[in-house]
Amino acid sequence: MKTRGNVLFMSRRDRITYNLLMFPSFIILFALTLLPLIFSIVVSFTNYNMIRPGAVRFVGLNNFVYAFESAKFWKAVSITLVHVGVTVTCQMVLGMGIALLFSREFRLNKMLRSVYILPMMLTPVVCGIMWRMLFNTDYGFINYLLSLLRIPAVNWLGDAGTALWTIIITDIWMSTPFVTTLLMAGIQAISRDYYEAAEIDGTTGPQRFWYITLPLVKPMVFLALLFRVMDAIRRFDSIITMTNGGPGNATETLNLHAYFQGFSNFNIGYSSTLSFIMLVIIFSLSVVLLNAIQKAD
Amino acid sequence: MKGNKQIRHIIANAMSWMVVLCVVFPLLWLVSTSLKNKVDAFAIPPKLWVTPTLENYQSMLSSQVFQRSLWNSALITVITVALALLLGITAGYALARNTSRSSRAMGMWIILARMVPPMGIIIPFYIVFSRLGLLDHLFSLTLIYLTTVLPFVVWLMMGFFKGVPMDVEEAAMIDGCTRVGTLFRIVVPLSKPGIATAAIFAFMMSWNEYFYAVIMTGNQRITATVAIRSLINSTGVVWGELCAGSLIVIAPVLLFTILGQRNLVQGIMNGAVKG
C-alpha cells in the first residue's frame, strides 16, 4: 500500500524535483558518452590521420571493407574470442564453485571471504606486473615450480603459443571474485525451506544444485555474464603491462588493435572503424543478455 | 552417514583455504620481492626469505616523477570522487523514488553509459581536448573519469536508497521538510554505509585507471599507474623497485578494501538485487 500510494500521489512538484535531481548526471553522461560516440561513428567513415590532419575526407565504407579483408583484423577478432570465451567460461565455473564453498557456515569464513575479494579491487596494472614477474622465464616462481617437477623452463610471455594463456590466467585471477560475489548474493537469497524439503524427499547434493540453486540464481548468472563479457572485451591495462600485445601480435585483442591503429599509427579514421565494430558487438551482446535477465526474473 | 558429511566438510574447508592461498600468494610474492636487494631478486632458485631491505622503497619515493604521479593521482581521484558522489547521490535517489516512464528511460541511459567501450569515446575526447589545449590537464581527465565512475555510483546509490523505508521520509515531509531537504537531512545520514561503499568504489575506479590516463596525460599530470607501467621498458626491469612502487600504488586500495570490506560486498549485492 505504501509504495503504491506513493506512486499514485506522486505530485507534479515531486516529479519536477526528481527530474531536476537526475538532470545533471544525465546531461553530463549524455555529453560525455553519446556525443563522442556519434562523433566517433562519423570519423569511422573518414580517412582521418593525425599525421596529415588537413586532408580529411569521407571514404564511405572503405575502412570497413579494409577491415573485413585484413588478416590482422580477423586475427584480432579470433584472439578476442578465445580470450573472452575462455576467461568468462572459467570465471563462471570457478566463481560458482567458490560461491558454493563460501556460502557454507564455517569458522573464519568471513575472514577468508574478505581476503578473497582483494583481486577485484587491485590496480590492474599492478596485477599485470605481478603476474609478469611470476611468469618470468629465468627467475619466475611458476618456472621454479615446474623445475621442481623436472619440467624445463617455459618462455611463457615470449612464446606466441603461451602468451595468451598467461593473459587469460591473470584475468581469471583478477575477476573471479566479482562473479563469486554476485552469485553469493543470489545463493544467500534462496530460502532454506527449499533445501530442507528437498532433503526430506531424499535428493542428492548435485540434484539440489541442479534443480534448486541453479534455476534460482539464474538472473545473477546472466548479470555476472553481462558484466564480465563487457569487461573482458575491453580489457586493456593488464595486457599492455604483461605483453604489450606481443610477441608479434599474439595477444593483440580487438581493443588493443584499435588502440595501436589510433595511437601508434595515428590512423584515427580506421581506429574509429574498429571501435565502432567493437561497439556493435558489445551492444548486441548486452541486448541479448539483458533480455535473458528479464526473462529469468 | 554423519562421518561422510564431516569428511565432505573438511574437504570443502581445505578447498576454501586453497582458493584464498591462490589469491594471497602472488601478493606475498610482490611484498617479498619489494624487500629484496638486487642480488636476491635475481636469485635462482627464487628465495622466499631474505633479510629485508627498504632500499627499493627509498629509491622509488625519492624519484621526482613518481612523487608527482602519486600527487596527481590523489588530486584527480579526490575531485572525481567528490563530483561523482554529489551527482550520483542525487540521481540515484531520484531514480530510486521516481517510477515514471521518462525517469526510467533516463536512468536506463545513465546505467547503459557504463557499457560504452572506452576505445569508442577516447578519440573524440583526444581530438577536442588537444584543440582546446587541455591535454595533460586535470579538467579533461576528471571529466573523462566521470564517464566510468558516475554510472557505477548512480547504480550503487539507487540500490541503497531503495532499501531506505519511505515512512521516515513521509514523516519528515509532513513536518514540513521539502523533498530535497528530506534527501540531505534524513536519507543521506541513514545511508552512510552505502555512501561510504560508493566512495570506496569510486576511489578504486579512478585511482586504478590506466587507459585514459596513458592517452590523455603527459609529463605534467602523469598518474601513478602510468608512471609505474613506464618502469617496464626495453632496457630491462628493476624488479625490486617495480614491486616497491607497485605496493605503494596499491596501498590505499588495500587499506580501503580491508576497512570497508563487509560493506563492499553488501553494496554489490544491493545494486545487483535491487537495481
Q: What is the pLDDT of residues A95-104, one digit of tens each?
A: 999 998 888 8
In chain B, what residues touch A3 (CB-CB under 8 Å)?
166
The chain A residue lying nearest B84, using CA atoms, is A25
Per-residue confidence (pLDDT) for residue A1, from 0 to 100: 37
Q: Which residues of A touch B272 (CB under 8 A)?
A: 182, 185, 220, 223
CB of B265 less than 8 A from some CB of A: yes
Chain B: nearest CA to A67, how far in angstroms?
Answer: 16
B189 touches chain A (CB under 8 A): no
Cell of residue B176, nine digits: 514540513
Chain B residues within 8 A of A15 when measuring between CB atoms: 98, 100
pLDDT of residue A8: 45
Q: Is A230 on the interface with B (CB under 8 A)?
A: yes
d(CA B136, CA B128): 13
By the CB < 8 Å criterion, does B264 face chain A?
A: yes
Amino acid at A22: M
**Does any CB of chain B come closer than 8 Å to the CB of residue A265?**
no
Do residue A102 and residue B16 have CB atoms under 8 angstroms apart? yes
The pLDDT mean for chain A works out to 86
- Which A residues 132-171 touch B at CB under 8 Å? 132-134, 138-141, 144, 147
Phi, psi of A46 (to 5 degrees): -115, 175
Find chain B residues with C-beta within 8 A of A39's C-beta.
Answer: 123-124
pTM of this structure: 0.88
Q: How confident is the model at residue A73 (pLDDT cuts 50, 70, 90)?
A: very high
Contact A30 B42 (CB under 8 A): no
A219 has pLDDT over 50: yes
pLDDT at position B215? 92
The reported pLDDT for the residue numbered A3 is 45
B24 half-sphere exposure, CB direction, 13 A CA radius:
12
Contact A231, B152 (CB under 8 A): no
pLDDT at A6 over 50: no
What is the number of CB-based contacts under 8 A between chain A and chain B?
269
Q: B79 at the A interface (CB within 8 A)? A: no
pLDDT at B96: 84
pLDDT digits (tens, 9 = 90+) for A173-218: 999 999 998 898 888 888 888 888 888 888 887 888 888 888 888 8
Ranking A43-47, A70-74, A272-276, B160-164 by mean pLDDT, the lowest is B160-164
pLDDT for position B272: 65
Are the Cβ atoms of A37 and B120 closer than 8 angstroms?
Answer: yes
Does any CB of chain A come closer than 8 Å to the CB of residue B21? Answer: no
Q: Is the ipTM of this complex over 0.95?
A: no
Chain B residues within an 8 Å CB radius of A152: none
- Min Cα separation A130/chain B (Å): 6
User: A32-41, A101-110, A128-137, B120-129: which range is least confident on average?
Assistant: A101-110
Residue A255 has pLDDT above 70, yes or no: yes
Residue A111 pLDDT > 50: yes
Q: Is A178 on the interface with B (CB under 8 A)?
A: yes
CA distance B72 to chain A (A): 16
CB B180 within 8 A of CB A20: no
Are A129 and B120 a contacting pair at CB < 8 A? Answer: no
Q: What is the pLDDT of residue A227?
A: 87
CB atoms within 10 A of CB B173: 15
pLDDT tens-digit map of A14-34: 778 888 888 888 888 888 888
CB contact (8 A) between residue A22 and residue B103:
yes
- Rounded distance, CA A44 to CA A46, Å? 6
pLDDT < 70: residue spans in chain B: 1-2, 44-45, 48-49, 234, 269-275
Q: Do B123 and A268 touch (CB under 8 A)?
A: yes
Which residue among B120, B215, B273 places its CB closest to the CB of A40? Answer: B120
With CB atoms and an 8 Å threshold, state whether A113 touches B273: no
Tell me the residues of chain A between 24 and 83 that have a Cβ less than 8 Å away from chain B: 24-26, 28-30, 32-37, 39-40, 43
How far does A89 lie from chain B, in Å, by closest CA? 18
Residues 6+ apart with CB under 8 A from A110: B262
Indicate the burial class of A192 (C-beta count within 10 angstroms; 0-12, 13-18, 19 or more).
exposed
In whole angstroms, give the CA distance from residue B43 to residue A44. Answer: 51
Query: What is the distance in angstroms between the Cα of A174 and the nearest Cα belonging to chain B?
Result: 9
CB within 8 Å: A126 and B249: yes
Q: How far is B36 from chain A (nearest CA, A)?
A: 13
- Specify the 3-state DSSP secondary structure of A140: coil
CA-nearest residue to A126 within chain B is: B246
Instruction: Please tell me the total number of residues recorded for chain A in this structure.
Output: 297
Neighbours of B167 (CB within 10 A): 9
Which residues on neighbouring strands pair with residue A58, listed in sequence order?
A46
CA-nearest residue to B118 within chain A is A234
Alpha carbon of A122: minimum distance to chain B alpha carbons (Å)? 6
Chain A contacts of B9, Cβ < 8 Å?
104, 106
Do B16 and B5 meet the contact criterion of CB atoms below 8 Å apart? no
Cα distance between residue A87 and residue A90, in whole Å: 5
